[in-house]
Amino acid sequence: MKISFFESNRDNEIYLKSGLKKIRGVNVEFFKTPINSLNAIKAKNSDVLVVFVDSCVDKEVLDKMPNLNHIVTMSTGYDHIDINECKKRKISVSNVPHYGENTVAEHTFGLILSISRKIPVAVERTKKDDFSLEGLEGFDLRGKTLGVIGPGSIGQRVIKIAKGFEMEVIAFAKTKDVKLSKELGFKYVDFDSLLMNSDIITIHVPLLPSTRGMINMSNIRKIKKGCFIINAARGEIIDTTALLYGLEKKIISGAALDVLEGEEDIKDEMQMFSEEFNKEDMKIFMENHRLLKEKNVIVTPHMAFFTREAIHRILDTTIENILSFKKGRIVNRVDK
């Protein structure tokens, strides 16, 4: 069985090779870059493909991998994989469903504290021997209303932390769990009510057709004036044009983002010169550059998941997923 790992690094390779020793007859190869239609030919004979979120496993990639039987994504989200195309080809897909609930929640609150207390600006000034407090006034979290879009496993951890800061919490979800809301001390509201009543909005939903552009030009004006937006989920959940509009019109006081719409393009500016880079991609690319330059916007490089403990959980589950495929009893399957 041939396994191709993309978006790999040296430390992960050592860990994975050690873990895969228990599987007989395995031929493993590693690539540092994400897989795409241009480099998929390198893995044309692979039985199993392992990727992360910057890879794009679409029809063009699958066309170049005729022997492929199983895909493992080392992430919870799998919007970077064309599941319908995989179903047509009877290619099974598994993910890593639980690895970073507390990890992402902690980073989320790191972003909240950074923006509420203007920590990045203060640190940068102090490095330049500027100890002035001018322009550094922040605000307390106690008594503020946190709006959680998606009180799932990560969102629930965020709510627990928020309660430690004595914040009021409201949440939006398609399915309500009344028992959970009582246990954690939050209130379910409709989406518009969350936008209108939150001092801080934090996003914790997966990227689906129903969540793409969830915050957009049609509802950005409904957001409570002075609100802050936090996104450690997926960049495409916020329409970047709408976010920039909200910042420009001072509807939104600031944003702290671990993800950006079309972030895979901003990571590799050379893609601008490829045939695949269309006008819409260029628009998003330029808007992201504007976001990065905004004084009241904090951006981290999609690192909310990135702790030693979380990485080990990801790698262990990835090994488990491959082993289960080999045994014919696939776990963590998402293509059904």
- pLDDT (0 to 100) of residue 279: 59
**Among candidate residues 1, 104, 118, 106, the one with its CA nearest the CA of residue 48:** 1
**Are both 2-99+308-327 and 101-299 of the same fold?**
yes
Annotated catalytic residue 234: yes
Check 7, 168, 263, 287 and give the catalytic one.
263
Q: Which superfamily does CATH assign the domain made up of 2-99+308-327 to? A: NAD(P)-binding Rossmann-like Domain (3.40.50.720)
Q: What share of the chain is helix, strand, coil (3-state, %, to 5)?
A: 40, 15, 45
- pLDDT (0 to 100) of residue 267: 53
Annotated catalytic residue 289: no
CATH architecture of the region 101-299: 3-Layer(aba) Sandwich (3.40)
| 3-class secondary structure, 114 | helix
* Segments of the chain with pLDDT less than 70: 264-283
Check 204, 234, 264, 287 and give the catalytic one.
234
- pLDDT (0 to 100) of residue 264: 67
Annotated catalytic residue 263: yes
| 3-class secondary structure, 113 | helix
- pLDDT (0 to 100) of residue 265: 58
Pairing of strands 168-172, 187-188: parallel
Which DSSP string do the residues of 8-51 spell out, in sequence order? --HHHHHHHHHHHTTSTT-EEEE-SSPP-TTTGGGGTT-SEEEE
| Helical residues (DSSP H) of 39-190, grouped into ranges | 59-63, 83-88, 101-116, 119-127, 153-164, 178-184
Q: What pTM, to 2 d.p., does this model score?
A: 0.89
Residues paired with 304 in a beta bridge: none
List the chain domain ranges.
Answer: 2-99+308-327, 101-299
